[in-house]
Structure 1
Amino acid sequence: MPHSDCPPLPTAGTPSCFPTPERPEGDKADCFWQTHHDELRDHRSTSELPSHSDIVIIGAGLAGVSTAYHLTKDGGSSKSITILEARGACSGATGRNGGHCRPDFYGHIPTYMDRAGDRAGAEIAEFEIANLRALKKVIERESIDCDFTLARSVDVWCNEEAAKSAKAVYDRMVAAGFDYMDDVVFYTGDQVEGICGVKGAKACASFTAGTMWPFKFVMHLIKKVLTLGVNLQTHTPVESITRDTQGGYILDTPRGRIHADNVIHANNAYVSGLLPEYGKNIIPCKGICSRITVPEGTTAPLLNNSYINRTEDNTLSYFIPRADGSIIVGGAAKLFRSHEEQWYDNVNDGVLIDSAKDYYNGYMQRTYRGWEDTGAKVDKIWTGVMGYSFDSNPHIGHVPEKDGQFILAGFNGHGMPVIWLAAQELAKMVSNGVPFEKTSMPRLFQTSQFRIDRAQAGKVEDGDILGTGNFAATKP
């Protein structure tokens, strides 16, 4: 559920930061991605929890399962690995997002350049571009059927002032001399609407991005890691973690306890439930997503590109077209930003965001040329819980002051362009003792006591909880 466009909000209270139970009926049916049946969704490798595992991964979404895959592929196969998932596999944000693997070429990169220098900003863009290429390679190598496409993504601005600001950002990025900007084309002028197909467009840009069915991707990886000896335990929430006086950690669950030498926190929005020091660093925030279809027998106008659309009143939506003619579209955060209780510091993904639930009715007809008489309508609509960080960067690496614990979380609704490659690098840290500085990860992604303390001491309005670029950071 990427690309929220909300400003910082007042400090929240302490959340009950654990996943809400899935409803017996409804949750899977509401979300289009999870209508694909997979027998491994509720899998338990063994009837009882193992008493010990060298590595325990908390979370069976993209972050946790990708880490398990890389651990088994890159020198960790001799170690026992257990994945503990509070609900069904891939039931959280990964299984509820927009299916958009879209690197940030220029959007927030100037913010990171201002914070830590041009090279730090470029590191993030280059890492996300490399992540997309790495995903393409693994999908081809493993023959993963997940509807992956590599195409163009189109940014659209329908507000004149916003279009001018976007052009200024683009010009700044070109002037910085980053090679990857050669892949970006920016359009202004009278023909913009004809180029992008969006009514009232004042400017648009395009660059390479990917789309996919995230649930299918993760479930294929699960099948692979299970054949390599990984133990998956679904519907097994971790309730507490305590240090064992003999070494390692004890993880308590409703089904018993398990001892681990290393613990990897890959549960994103829920991470502060077990790591309270991250309580003000990673905040659970709900987003909304939907599937739009046309009536049977109607041929939908062809759309080859994914989009980020911004209306004249700057309401942002992201969407991907699918080969079956349907559209996955979400966002509209401008509509619910003032209704904080509906989405901010809220982990209930079984309840729609009331103030935005009707926004996508008629969306294609009022937005795109050629869709006026298609009868397109919302087929399914759902929510997902994302983890937004205080400074808009994910937290990755060693958990400070907790030897043997690692974190891969806080993706700000932008995990698809980051997680796969970040999991590969974290696996090197866990299995081979590689320090963060020797990985390929951007320096601003490294979790640290400095970042934790800064969020704990600050107010949310001093930060950049939702990636608006307002955070004035000291160089980490």
Structure 2
Amino acid sequence: MDQRARLPASLPCANPTASLWQTPLADIADIQAPELPAVTDVVIVGSGITGAAIAWNLLSRAKSAGQQNHARLMNHATHQRVGARVLPPNRVVMLEARQACSGATGRNGGHTKAASYRSFLAHERALGSIEAACQIARMELANIREVHSFAKEHGIDCESRSCWTVDAIYDPDQWAHAHEAAEAMGKAMPGEDVSRYEFHTPEQVRERFHLEEGEVCGGISYEAGSISAYRFTIGVLKLCLDRGLSLETSTPATRISALEEADDEGHRWVVETPRGLIVAKEVVLATNGYTATVEPRFQGIIVPLRGQITAHRPGSGMPKDGLQMTYSFIYRDGYEYMVSKAEGSSHAGDIVMGGGLVKAPDLGLDEYGNSDDSTLNPVISKYLYGTTPRYFGSKKWGEDHPDGRVRKEWTGIMGFSPDGFPFVGEMPGRPGLWVSAGFQGHGMALCWLCGKALSEMMSGRDGEELRAWFPDAFRVSEERLLRRFDGVRHTPVDSRTEPRH
């Protein structure tokens, strides 16, 4: 694993596989200005949900400040410190190596799902605090709810659906862990929605969730949702464009360096791209699995991991109106996750199934350190192809669609950290260089509020109000940057090692 983690990070490849969500491409997929801006307040590297969230919060705060302090801002074309606070930027440039939202956000499985019970006990052990574990669980559910609420409030057409999910569990130890964790959460957060779980017997799993009983131990259901993260993020980026964002696609950041001394207006960073240089006051890395490409301190710390997903046309025996819940299938060493595309969406009823990593040789070892999303792993392809009739049973699945079972298959690059937490905050000893990355394949339950938290920090609002909901465990620190990645434990009960998040 150490050898895989040390593989040099690379920029996103030029010809990635196309996800179901990216068909058709958005009308801003290839947007860029005739000339790259030479000077700006903030450069955000990455146009996924994290970069979009940061841009939205910075630009919205700038707009609000402009309305309240028009005269003052007219005299300060770029933001300056005012007492203990920082005036928000009014110039934000976003760089994207490929097309807009072409990374992990536009290539995920469509889930907005926390599964907080699966990491709760590990978080309590790692952090030495049950309250710290509760804070993470609360933030995950709040993040999911805020994403769906934002889509509704702003009329973003993105297949947003709040619903319940079910985890079908096929391993006795995982089943016992689920009961232990749910009980602990109920005691720690009595009466809160975040600790609301329902358990189901094998017979109920078969009858209520259309699954084949097989070797299933039972099921656990709770609040979740599904969404086209691609269309959601494109919608947010369009809102940001209306507020003055300069979105520059096909413009990778190839090097970021600090000036020896900031100029009179506070510009201190130089971002190099194939289209020229940009001088900025602050730079934000919203680059997830690619972060080490532009910030070498993350080499071997945020490690790329390639995931694989298929979209299955529904079999003839599946419900005609689609499945009304989302699913995960949990076994000893790993899991699959599944979303049925909602009625009224493109390819309604299609079943999006992701996972299968541990079915590859050496439990998927060669997928670590792999940032090539232009190809597929044939072993995982074969495994994912067989998941739907296996989990639902051949009779309930029925005959494959006349056009074939798999409509589309793709890969995407996630980012994993040594301790299982994202890195959010300012880089130690590098003022003005910020990061929000390393989401462990769990971005739809974390990215939106991590982006909001980072924008608060950048605006000088890093006080008790933020610390009340944002976990200290997520913050960038020198100590965390000294750790080294030694693998991901995909399940809280792992046959290979002691449980670790």
- TM-score, normalised to structure 2's length? 0.85
Match of 2:77 in 1: none
- 1:269 aligned partner, one-letter code: G
**Residue 207 (structure 1) aligned to one of 217, 222, 226:** 222
Report what 2:329 is aligned to.
309
| Distance in 2, Cα, partners of 1:467 & 1:437 | 33
Q: Residue 288 of structure 2 is aligned with which of 264, 268, 283?
A: 268
Residue 21 in structure 1 maps to residue 13 in structure 2: yes
1:111-170 CA-to-partner distances (Å, cap 9, x unmatched) read: 011122101101111001111121122111110000000000101112334323322332
Counterpart pick for 1:345 among 365, 369, 389: 369
Q: d(CA) in 2 for partners of 1:180 and 1:161?
A: 25
The CA distance in 2 between the partners of 1:437 and 1:467, in whole Å, is 33
Q: Counterpart of 1:56?
A: 43
Q: How many residues align?
A: 454
Q: In the alignment, is the contact (CA less than 8 A) between 2:199 and 2:218 conserved in 1?
A: yes
Q: Secondary structure at the match of 2:470?
A: coil
On the 8 A contact 1:192/1:202 being kept in 2, the answer is no
Question: Counterpart of 1:454 in 2: which secondary structure?
Answer: coil
Match of 2:477 in 1: 448
The DSSP-based 3-state class of the residue aligned with 1:285 is strand
Establish whether residue 183 from structure 1 lines up as the match of residue 196 from structure 2. yes
Question: What CA distance in whole angstroms lies between the structure 1 residues aligned with 2:62 and 2:477?
Answer: 26
Tell me, in whole angstroms, the C-alpha distance in 2 between the residues paired with 1:143 and 1:183.
Answer: 29
**Residue pair 2:134, 2:189 contacting (<8 A) in 1 also:** no
Local SS of the residue matching 2:481: helix
Contact 2:186–2:196 (CA<8 Å) still a contact in 1?
no
Quote the Cα distance in structure 2 between the aligned partners of 1:246 and 1:471.
Answer: 48
Pair 330,240 (structure 1): closer, same or farther in 2 beyond 3 Å = same
Q: Note the alpha carbon deviations across 1:395-423, whole angstroms, 9 max, x for none.
A: 00111111001100000000011111111
Displacement after TM superposition at 1:202 (Å)? 1.4
Letter in structure 2 aligned against 1:119: E
Aligned residue runs from structure 1 range 64-463, under 5 A = 64-75=51-62, 78-116=89-127, 117-178=129-190, 179-188=192-201, 190-199=203-212, 200=214, 201-247=216-262, 248-294=268-314, 300=320, 302-311=322-331, 315-323=334-342, 324-336=348-360, 338=362, 342-369=366-393, 371-376=396-401, 377-434=405-462, 438-439=466-467, 440-455=469-484, 460=486
Give the conservation status (yes or no) of the 8 Å contact 1:364–1:371. no
Distance in 2 between the 1:192 and 1:396 partners?
39
User: Which residue is 2:265 aligned to?
Assistant: none
| Amino acid of the structure 2 residue aligned with 1:63 | T
Shift of 1:63: 0.7
* Distance in 2 between residues matched to 1:293 and 1:42, nearest whole Å: 30
Q: In structure 2, how many angstroms separate the alpha carbons of the residues matched to 1:50 and 1:291?
A: 40
Deviations 1:333-357 (A, max 9, x none): 1212616564110110001022211
Aligned equivalents of 2:316, 2:187: Cα separation in 1: 49
User: Which stretch of structure 1 is more off in the superposition, 421-430 or 191-200?
Assistant: 191-200
Q: Deviations over 1:229-279 (max 9, x none)?
A: 110111111111111123111111111100010000000001111211111
- Contact 1:70–1:424 (CA<8 Å) still a contact in 2? yes
CA distance in 2, matches of 1:471, 1:310: 18
Change (3 A) 1:435 1:447: farther
Task: Give the fraction of aligned pairs with identical amino acids, expressed as a percent.
Answer: 28
- Please give the alpha-carbon distance, in whole angstroms, between the structure 1 residues aligned to 2:175 and 2:354: 21
Q: Quick one: structure 1 residues 137 and 437, their matched pair in 2 at CA, closer, same or farther if it must change by over 3 Å?
A: closer
After superposition, give the CA deviation of every residue in 1:425-447 in whole Å (9 maximum; x if it has no partner). 21111133535983431121111
SS at match of 1:122: helix
| Greater Cα offset, 138-147 or 31-40 | 31-40
1:277 alignment partner, SS class:
helix
Other structure's SS at 1:270 match: helix
Bigger shift: 127-136 or 139-148? Answer: 127-136
189 and 39 in structure 1: CA distance in 2 versus 1, 3 angstrom threshold: closer
For the pair shown, which has the larger CA radius of gyration, 1 or 2?
2
Alignment CA distance shift 1:161-1:341 (3 Å): closer
After superposition, the Cα gap between the structure-2 partners of 1:364 and 1:340, relative to the gap in structure 1 and judged at 3 Å, is closer
Residue 39 of structure 1 corresponds to: 27
Match of 1:317, SS? strand
Q: Structure 2 vs 1, CA of residues 436 and 84 (structure 1 numbering), >3 Å: closer, same or farther?
A: farther
Q: What is the SS of the residue equivalent to 1:71?
A: helix
Q: How far is the alpha carbon of 1:299 from its aligned partner?
A: 6.2
1:297 CA drift (Å):
12
Tell me how far 1:301 sits from its aligned partner: 6.6
Can you give the 5+ residue segments of structure 1 that lack an aligned partner in the other structure?
1-8
Residue 215 to residue 189, structure 1, CA distance change in 2 (3 Å):
closer
Over aligned residue pairs, what C-alpha RMSD do you find?
Answer: 2.5
Say if 2:170 and 2:217, in contact at 8 Å, map to a contact too: yes
Matched to 1:151, the amino acid is: C
Provide the C-alpha distance between the structure 1 equivalents of 2:385 and 2:320, rounded to a whole number of angstroms. 16
Is residue 290–residue 380 contact of structure 1 (8 Å, CA) maintained in 2? yes
Alpha-carbon separation, structure 1, partners of 2:7 and 2:300: 10
Which has a greater percent of helix?
A: 2
Out of 202-211 and 153-162, give the one that drifted further. Answer: 153-162
Go from structure 1 to structure 2 and tell me whether the alpha carbon gap of 1:453 and 1:297 turns closer, same or farther (over 3 Å shift).
Answer: closer
* Partner secondary structure for residue 353 of structure 2: strand
Other structure's SS at 2:368 match: coil
**Secondary structure of 1:460's aligned partner:** coil
* Shift in alpha-carbon separation, 1:263–1:472, aligned structure 2, 3 A: farther
